[in-house]
Amino acid sequence: MAMPEVGILDTSVVIDLARIDQDLLPDQSAITSVTLAELAAGPHAAGDPLERSSRQERLQWAEATFDAISFDTDAARAYGRMYALVRVAGRQPRRRLADLMIASIASAHQLPLYTRNPADFAGLEPVVSLRVV
């Protein structure tokens, strides 16, 4: 019997989860503490009250649904590799801080990363397994 696939959902996937074919997702989904931070910032970035409410509901749902995987020492070490790969690709790592931290957590835990925005992770393929949904 095959082990169920566990994968980390990028923030873009969490935001669009209701519109994604569930067959494209892992058997067991996880998110990171960085995704929770991005979702927590979302309501404050919305100018429209209805959008702000929608983003607040998404944050509360994510907090209640997932036990977020934290950015730990192993992820911090992986972040150094991510930073280097982004620089080699001619991109600016500081502009990709949250994306690189999410990818670092996936890499440190040897889990595939499910995303809607593969360009955010361009160049990281040697150290993180991307699944585009």
Residue 123 φ/ψ region, left for φ over 0, alpha for ψ in the -120 to 50 degree band, beta for the rest: left
**pLDDT value at position 3?**
67
In a domain, 95, yes or no: yes
DSSP letter assigned to residue 71: -
- Please give the residue range of the domain that contains residue 56: 6-132
pTM: 0.93
**pLDDT value at position 2?**
66
In a domain, 44, yes or no: yes
Phi and psi at residue 48, in whole multiples of 5°? -90, 130
Q: How many domains does the chain have?
A: 1
In a domain, 1, yes or no: no
Mean pLDDT for the stretch of residues 109-114: 97
**Token representation of residue 116:** 């809607």
In a domain, 94, yes or no: yes
Where does the pLDDT of residue 1 fall: very low under 50, low under 70, confident under 90, or very high at 90 and above?
Answer: low
Rounded to the nearest 10 degrees, how much is the dihedral formed by the CA atoms of 72, 59, 43, 34? Answer: 10
In a domain, 30, yes or no: yes
Kind plus residue range of the DSSP H or E element containing 28: strand 28-30
**CATH number for position 15:** 3.40.50.1010
Where does the pLDDT of residue 53 fall: very low under 50, low under 70, confident under 90, or very high at 90 and above?
Answer: very high
DSSP letter assigned to residue 127: T
